[in-house]
Amino acid sequence: MSEETKILLTENEIPERWYNIQADLEWPLDPALHPGTKEPAGPDDFAPLFPMELIMQEVSRERWIEIPDEVRDIYRMWRPTPLYRAKRLEKALGTPAKIFYKYEGVSPAGSHKPNTAVAQAYYNKVAGTKRIVTETGAGQWGSAMAFACNLMDIECKVYMVSASYQQKPYRKSMMEVWNATVTSSPSNETQSGRAILEANPDSPGSLGIAISEAVEVAVSRDDTKYSLGSVLNHVLLHQTIIGQEAIKQMEKADAYPDMVIGCVGGGSNFAGISFPFVPDRLAGKDIRFIAVEPEACPTLTRGEYAYDFGDTAGMTPLLKMHTLGHTFVPNPIHAGGLRYHGMAPLISLMVHNGLIEPRAYHQKTVFEAAVLFARTEGIIPAPEPAHAIRAAVDEALKCKESGEEKTILFHMCGHGYFDMSAYESYFAGNMVDYSLPDEEIARAMESVPSV
């Protein structure tokens, strides 16, 4: 096996196509339903929100979809991203396991999100969109969309979850540097926001609420479209360049993963790293896929697999997915990007059929792993991928017990340089592990509509 620390590709090796897993799964994906009629939603139902090209990608069964030259050219600004062998982490753990991680923190916004933001802004520009409205949790998606819209000369408006707006003022400044307008959500600007504030003036907000606000604004104007940073099929599709690069890099390192690990909020970074490996598994290869979520928002491990709305106000189409109920407002854990009540339908379908193994951790043990990673590998991880690090460390420690030399690949989908207040709270001993009683989940689940 090669002993390189960084396994790099050239710009010519940036993938030319996105991989569409819908071509290969044997189980059909249940259709999205219209929020009013609860009948299957057609392309026209999505037309007020998205340009037609993205709607077509959403339902496509083609295995490969070509990446437009203009998008690929922008990818060159930071792609291919590096794959690292975590030698110093391995040594600190005393594990015989080989740990690799793919690092998306080298993008301008500091995460995997620009991979789809650039593609979405491109298809909107081609369709004549003048303005994009979106929401952001931790601020990662908002900054990626601001960056992409600025490159494509599209106006960008972001509703930012109030808890993050308070915790991460520099994420907001970053969006403003790239020309976007940022509003704390819930806001007084929309009916959905005003309704939430009337019931609870101190609402910390949630992705579900922010989505309601953005969708409300988008449908009210002809020149304005909406854009989602995760969950939908086309978003997961755009992220598959990550796993395609990782496959080439693992080959270069003369290695193949026994398991692929990633954190899941809406499922896009996990899909990006793992989906391109799935055809091998379907062909009989022994490879595990482990999706890691917070105990404070345990969508896959404790939610129900059912039709539910993507937003709090019930304006989006209904998606068949794991859900904690669309009115569920998670506690304000530091991994803001993992505070979502639902999950990508594709990820849910694969969990439901046993192809992906879900797992949940409390945030203190996650930060313990994040600090170990930073002290050995140098990069300070965002709180979200720190969940994947926790799982990778646990798997490596299992190998230490058993003496097995497994190969672990995990996704370091973003850096944590705007998350220092989370580390500050961890070191000060102020970090709280929120336990979530069954009754609380059951109460939120009452909002799941009967279909």
| Residues lying near ligand PLP in the complex (CB under 6 A) | 111, 113, 140-141, 230, 263-270, 337-338, 382, 384-385, 413-414
Nearest distance, CB of residue 333 and ligand PLP, angstroms:
13
Q: Can you name the residues that pair with 40 across neighbouring β-strands?
A: 33
What distance in Å separates the CA atoms of residue 21 and residue 353, rounded to the nearest whole number? 15
The one-letter amino acid code at 251 reads E
Label residue 179 left, alpha or beta by phi (over 0 means left) and psi (-120 to 50 means alpha): left
Label residue 153 left, alpha or beta by phi (over 0 means left) and psi (-120 to 50 means alpha): left
Cβ closer to ligand PLP: 143 or 327? 143
Cβ closer to ligand PLP: 49 or 346? 346
Cβ closer to ligand PLP: 290 or 382? 382
DSSP 361-394: E-HHHHHHHHHHHHHHH-PPBPHHHHHHHHHHHH
Cβ closer to ligand PLP: 138 or 306? 138
Nearest distance, CB of residue 139 and ligand PLP, angstroms:
8
Cβ closer to ligand PLP: 95 or 233? 233
Q: What one-character DSSP code corresponds to residue 347?
A: H
Residues in Cβ contact with 422 at an 8 Å cutoff, skipping those fewer than 6 apart: 167, 334, 367, 383, 416, 431
Cβ closer to ligand PLP: 7 or 161? 161
Nearest distance, CB of residue 111 and ligand PLP, angstroms:
4
Cβ closer to ligand PLP: 111 or 129? 111
Closest CA to 355 of 18, 19, 21, 17: 21
Nearest distance, CB of residue 115 and ligand PLP, angstroms:
10
Burial class (CB in 10 A: 0-12, 13-18, 19+), 245: buried
The one-letter amino acid code at 325 reads G
Nearest distance, CB of residue 439 and ligand PLP, angstroms:
27
Nearest distance, CB of residue 69 and ligand PLP, angstroms:
26
Cβ closer to ligand PLP: 268 or 312? 268
Nearest distance, CB of residue 140 and ligand PLP, angstroms:
3
Cβ closer to ligand PLP: 82 or 414? 414
Nearest distance, CB of residue 237 and ligand PLP, angstroms:
13
Q: Which two tokens mark 449? A: 């509509």
Answer for the pair 313, 212: CB distance below 8 angstroms, yes or no: yes
Cβ closer to ligand PLP: 113 or 238? 113
> Other C-beta atoms within 10 Å of 286: how many?
9
Cβ closer to ligand PLP: 95 or 230? 230
What distance in Å separates the CA atoms of residue 174 and residue 109, rounded to the nearest whole number? 8
Nearest distance, CB of residue 250 and ligand PLP, angstroms:
21
Nearest distance, CB of residue 113 and ligand PLP, angstroms:
5
- Cis peptide leading into residue 40 (ω within 30°): no
Q: Report in angstroms the alpha-carbon separations of 281 from 6, 78, 114, 346.
A: 26, 30, 28, 16
SS3 content of the chain, % helix, strand, coil (to 5): 45, 20, 40
Nearest distance, CB of residue 65 and ligand PLP, angstroms:
19
What distance in Å separates the CA atoms of residue 102 and residue 288, rounded to the nearest whole number? 17
Q: Which two tokens mark 450? A: 């009967």
